[in-house]
Amino acid sequence: MDRERLGKNRYFLKTTIRDQIDISDNDQNKGVPMPEIQKPHSDGQQLLDLVPAEELKEMSGMKLTEAIGDRRTRRKFDPESMMTLKELSYLLWATQGVRKNSGTTIFRTVPSAGNRHAFETYLAVFNVEGLEQGIYRYLPLDHRLVLERKVEDLREKVNLASKGQVFVGAGSVAFIWAAIPYRMEWRYTLAAHKSILLDAGHICQNLYLASEALGYGTCAIGNYSQELADKLVGVDGKEEFVVYMAPVGK
Ligand SMILES: Cc1cc2nc3c(=O)[nH]c(=O)nc-3n(C[C@H](O)[C@H](O)[C@H](O)COP(=O)(O)O)c2cc1C
């Protein structure tokens, strides 16, 4: 590989861009309204209640130190294993849940640069108590799920979207995170993109630890088909696109 080309591409990992451009020349300071922090759903879509956050906090007996110490990537799942709705609620709360809503500012269980939270969480649900197989989306502000659509042969489609990594479609559920970059660009313009990826790491690490604490396993997936993953969750690939995935199973 051309070392000069590699070197040029590294600019993305640095904060140098903040010295080269004026970030204050952003849409926020121009008075453009803040983008919605949760994508809306249409009236006709089915909504499903999750187990409230207050009922989730005591559910794991595992100490944080143990969860951190035992964490590892797991790629063998039992496809028959049924995840409870309470367990799924816990994983969603741990990865994107709201921990404090002051009325004007909403804070979540994960940090985010400028509290911009550029992600939508889609779920490929295979085996979760009370849920039909399909693609769902988490609504953090409501702590509910919205059914995006039922999908036939979902496991196979997830396998194709993850470039044949068959274990991705073999768990109880697969988390699929899509970024809406403008949420971050509205404030940080060209410096937004590094922060979006840093944010993704926090989300997935919380999924690793929360899964471990419940006796489940997960695997971060960065190698997937952009086109098939975007198509699977139904995003346009431009204003919103998949950046990370993670199956969860026993
Ligand atoms: C950003 C990122 C992308 C990854 N993508 C994949 C992937 O596409 N397929 C896979 O099998 N593992 C993937 N992994 C898992 C790593 O291979 C794994 O974390 C690594 O081997 C270390 O193992 P450990 O997590 O058990 O410590 C990814 C991990 C990260 C953090």
Q: pLDDT (tens digit, 9 = 90+) per residue, 208-219?
A: 999 999 999 999
Supply φ then ψ for residue 13, to 5 degrees: -85, -10
Ramachandran assignment for 164, one of left (phi > 0), alpha (psi -120 to 50 degrees), beta (any other): left
pLDDT tens profile 55-68: 997 787 788 999 99
Distance 123 CA to ligand 1 centre (A): 19
Q: Residue 2's pLDDT is what?
A: 92
Ligand 1: which of 74, 76, 223, 242 to mutate, judged by most atoms within 8 Å of the beta carbon? 223
- Mean pLDDT over all residues of the chain? 96
| Domains defined for the chain, CATH in brackets | 3-36+46-249 (3.40.109.10)
**For range 187-197, the mean pLDDT:** 96
Structure tokens at 246: 């993670």
Q: What's the pLDDT band for 148 if we cut at 50, 70, 90? A: very high
Contact indicator for 130, 89 with CB cutoff of 8 Å:
no
pLDDT tens profile 206-247: 999 999 999 999 999 999 999 999 999 999 999 999 999 999
**For range 39-62, the mean pLDDT:** 90
Q: Residue 58's pLDDT is what?
A: 78
Q: What pTM did the predictor assign?
A: 0.97
Ligand 1: which of 219, 224, 226, 242 to mutate, judged by most atoms within 8 Å of the beta carbon? 219
Residue 72 Cα: closest atom of ligand 1: 26
Ligand 1, atom 31: closest residue by C-alpha: 220
Q: What's the pLDDT band for 193 if we cut at 50, 70, 90? A: very high
Q: What's the pLDDT band for 1 if we cut at 50, 70, 90? A: confident
Nearest of 220, 225, 226, 228 to residue 246 by alpha carbon: 220
Nearest of 124, 121, 212, 232 to residue 168 by alpha carbon: 124
Q: Which stretch of 18-22, 121-125, 150-154, 161-165 has the lowest confidence by average pLDDT?
A: 18-22
Instruction: Report residues whose beta carbon is within 6 angstroms of any ligand 1 atom.
Output: 72-73, 75, 165, 219-223
Q: Residue 104's pLDDT is what?
A: 86
Measured CA to CA, the distance from residue 98 to residue 32 in angstroms comes to 25
The percentage of residues in the chain with a pLDDT greater than 70, rounded to a whole number, is: 100
The percentage of residues in the chain with a pLDDT greater than 90, rounded to a whole number, is: 93
Ligand 1: which of 73, 75, 205, 248 to mutate, judged by most atoms within 8 Å of the beta carbon? 73
Q: Which stretch of 26-40, 59-73, 116-130, 232-246 has the lowest confidence by average pLDDT?
A: 59-73
Nearest of 179, 187, 249, 177 to residue 219 by alpha carbon: 249
